[in-house]
Structure formats: C-alpha cells, structure tokens
Structure 1
Amino acid sequence: MIYLKNWFDSMGSDSDTAKKSLNIFPDKGEAASLVRATIEITREDLKTLRERVLSKLPDTGKEDLHLSTFVLTYAYITTCIVRSRRGNGDRDVAFGFTIDCRPRLDPPVPENYFGNCNTISSGMEKKLSFLLECYERLKTNPFQAISVAGSPGFGVYGSDFGWGKPVKVDVVSIDKNEAVSLAESRDGSRGVEVGLALKKHEMEKFFSLFLSEF
C-alpha cells in the first residue's frame, strides 16, 4: 500500500483525472549542444578492469565476487562521466538501471503472466525499501542521474526483421535523458558497445579519462 500511495500521489488525486492517462509522455526534445559517440570496450579491456578492481579488494571474499560485463562497463563509464562533468565533489549522483521484478515478488506472478513488471533501482537484491528512499529524496533534493538503456545480453545485432541484421544500432532516447546505451559488440567479439551523448567539452574530458586507463 505504501508503494501504491506514492504511485498514485505522483499521478494526482482521484479527482484529478487530467493526470491519469495512457497518453505517451510529451517529447522534451534533445538537450542543447550534445555530441554523440560510440565506443567499444573489448574483452581484453574488461579483463583489465576486472583485474584492477580485484587488486584493490582484500583477499577475503574475492572468489565469491561476481563482476559481470554489465557491472564493469556501467561502473567505469559512469565514473568517467561524473569526473568529466566536474562540479562539486560532494554533489549527489544517482545511477539507475531497469530490472525485472517478476522473480522477486512474493507472492510470485503467474508463470503465464504477459506484461512488464520493471522498476529502476541500484539495489534490489534483498529488499524494496530503496524505492521509498528514492521517493522521499526526489521530493526534497533532486540529483543528477545517469541511467542505462539496453544491455550486452539483449543481442540487438542478432535481430533480423526480414531485411537483414543491423549494421549499426543507436538508442536515440539517450539524447534526452542523460543516459548511456549498452549493446554487444557488433563483430561478435563479446565486447561491449557503449553509446554516449554529452556536451562537447564533457565528451573531450570523458575520452581523456577513458583512454588513460587502458
């Protein structure tokens, strides 16, 4: 009921029917002065990142730590973006990604459920209280957020709708919501293709940071 109340509050009161609609959200348009770039993180790059992370951790528990391709890529890209924007070192920065809640619900949804059951979060493994914290923080202290569209596991370069497999995939929505996009490498090398949309000076700083680690 707490989650439902927050959801309904964000939509307006029962008498405010204008806010309750199935219409698509209005297009905010592209942010001004953005440039786009696509970079690739290879399997060797991912190996370097994984070894670097493990080298900074205590020996206890290393063997149980799973550093997936998604985690390594998103963590490194997000770090470079935050540093490229400089600003107050103590500023709040949130990062989010979409997760499938269906296997996490109790009672579970039926096996034949057809539909979405997603949320944006950075920690859903043990509890859902993080969502309540987000609701309260957004009311009083808006913060910069970096989200991700796609995943290397989606297999977008393997899709074929009748006119052949795609040569290049771009996620156009990252021009509007300060997100990054992730996909598998188009050459099948098991790397990651990352789409970026940043201001020109941010992009220049990003590349200087990104390339310095490899």
Structure 2
Amino acid sequence: MGQPKIEKLKKWILRRICVRNNHLTEESLPFNLSALVVTAAYVWVYKIKALRGYNEREHFLVLVGHRSRPDHVLPITYFGNCLVLCLTTIERNDLVGEDGVVVAVEVIGNAIQRTCKAVLNGLENYLANLSTMASERITGIVGSPKLRFYDINFGWGKPKQVKVISYTSVGAIFISERSDGEVGLEVGIALEKFQMDAFASLFENSLKDLPLKFMISFWSILFVTCCESLNFCSSAEI
C-alpha cells in the first residue's frame, strides 16, 4: 500500500471515529493512528470477510517492542529481543459490519496503547488466555517496517523480495517497508486461491469506494453538527 492510499484511509477512518465518538478529534485520540495500525486493521477485516466461517470471536495478536520504554530502559549493550504480546478480542459481527475497519483500528490501537502504558499488567495470564483460544482463529502480525528487511545486506546485495515462510501456516499478516524504496507498506498473506480472489476484490474495491465514503462521512458530520446546534438553540429559547 502506497502512502497516498494509506493517508486517504487514515483520513476516512479519523472522520468515522469522530462521528462514532462525539467531539473526539485527532489530537484527543487515545491511541496513535499509525500507518501500521490502519493497514493491519484494513487487511484483518477483509481477510476475515474472505475466509467467512462462523466464528463468534476473532483474536488479533501483535508484538510490541519494549526495549526503550521509559519504565524499564535496557542497557545499550543488551543484544536480544524485548517483545511483549499484545492480544485483543472482538466479536466477529463487529468486524464484518459497516464500520468494521474503524472498529478494528480502535480495538488494535487501544490494545497497543494499553500494553505500552502497562507492560507487565496481566502478563501472568497470557499463556492461559492463549490456551483458551487455541481452537479459535487468531490473526497476528509478522514483521515490522522498523526492521528494514530490504536494507539487509550480507555481502551479495540487498534483497529484491522478502518472503516469510512461517506466517503461511499460522494465518498471520506479514508487514514490512516497501521493496521499491517508496514510502508505504508491503503486506503479505497466504490464502487458498478462491479466498485470495475474494480478498483481493474486497481489498481493491473498498479503496476505490473511499471517495464515496468520504462524502457520506462529511454529510454525517454535518448532520450531527446541525442537530446539535438545533438542540442548543431550542434549549436556549426555553
């Protein structure tokens, strides 16, 4: 996904969040509306729609880096990982509804924010929670644009294309920086052909429909604002 598409998607999502949560603005969002959160939510929703099924709940898993968090800064000489599981659960019907992408963004963004603020909260229950979800579908993120896969050079040049084989067996979403060096994100998922065809169609068509969704969001905001103004005038007259 190129930067123009991501920015367009972020603007639409922000408008929908403001409609769903009265008086909320970009500055007062309780989480970071990052390109990663927006892209992960978008892919997650249309992947679930393409897979169909009758799961009552859907789970999303992302690893959050805590190497440089102010509450427990590690020494610069530390050579290793410092990752914490960030797990969130949502009803499937909420994901596949009209505002599914917006709901997914809020769920993922808030979960990451909670994890960043209190890294050790509930840590003792993570394994137990995961075991109870073993029979249900868990979608996770593999990779990160911060890892800079396409800058890796072992002496024979930088890679032309990066494929993470492990994510194909666990139903994860691979996200990295773009291979062409342009600003944006590269996304990879593995599905059966008929599922991939459905996913690709949903993915592209929804992006094409964003201009129409922008107009609907604009008139929704205008309608809500007018109604609030009328209510205020009525109260003042009384």
TM-score, length-scaled by structure 2: 0.65
Change (3 A) 1:204 1:130: farther
Partners of 2:171 and 2:180 in 1: how far apart?
Answer: 27
2:59 is matched with 94
List alignment gaps of at least 5 residues for structure 2: 88-110, 208-238
Query: Is residue 2:76 matched to residue 1:83?
Result: no
- Residue 194 of structure 1 aligns to a residue in which SS? strand
- Residue 93 of structure 1 aligns to a residue in which SS? strand
List alignment gaps of at least 5 residues for structure 1: 1-40
Per the TM alignment, residue 88 of structure 1 is displaced from its structure 2 partner at its CA by: 2.0
**Residue identity in the other structure for 1:196:** I
Structure with more relative contact order (C-alpha pairs < 8 Å, separation 6 or more): 1
Partners of 2:147 and 2:127 in 1: how far apart?
Answer: 29
Change (3 A) 1:55 1:88: same
Partners of 1:134 and 1:120 in 2: how far apart?
Answer: 8
Change (3 A) 1:55 1:106: closer
- Residue 198 of structure 1 aligns to a residue in which SS? coil
Which of 91, 111, 135 is the aligned partner of 2:127?
135
- Residue 199 of structure 2 aligns to a residue in which SS? helix
**Residue identity in the other structure for 2:43:** I
Higher helix share: 2
1:26 is matched with none
Query: Is residue 2:12 matched to residue 1:52?
Result: yes
Equivalent residues in 2 for 1:14-25, closer than 5 Å: none
Partners of 1:108 and 1:175 in 2: how far apart?
Answer: 34
Change (3 A) 1:140 1:158: closer
**Residue identity in the other structure for 1:205:** A
Per the TM alignment, residue 107 of structure 1 is displaced from its structure 2 partner at its CA by: 5.4
Equivalent residues in 2 for 1:50-199, closer than 5 Å: 50-58=10-18, 59-65=23-29, 66-88=32-54, 91-104=56-69, 108-122=73-87, 123=111, 124-127=115-118, 128-142=120-134, 143-199=136-192
State whether residues 121 and 130 of structure 1, in contact with CA within 8 Å, keep that contact through their aligned partners in structure 2. Answer: no
Change (3 A) 1:87 1:134: farther
**Residue identity in the other structure for 1:138:** L
How many residues are treated as equivalent by the alignment?
A: 173
Where in structure 1 do 4 or more consecutive aligned residues deviate above 6 Å? none
* CA RMSD across the alignment: 2.2
**Residue identity in the other structure for 2:27:** E
Partners of 2:162 and 2:72 in 1: how far apart?
Answer: 38
Change (3 A) 1:84 1:134: farther
**Residue identity in the other structure for 2:117:** K
State whether residues 84 and 205 of structure 1, in contact with CA within 8 Å, keep that contact through their aligned partners in structure 2. Answer: yes
Higher strand share: 1
Per the TM alignment, residue 49 of structure 1 is displaced from its structure 2 partner at its CA by: 0.8
Partners of 1:179 and 1:62 in 2: how far apart?
Answer: 29
Q: Deviations over 1:38-95 (max 9, x none)?
A: xxx1111101110110111224232243311111111111111111111226x22111
Percent identity, please: 32
TM-score, length-scaled by structure 1: 0.72
Equivalent residues in 2 for 1:20-35, closer than 5 Å: none
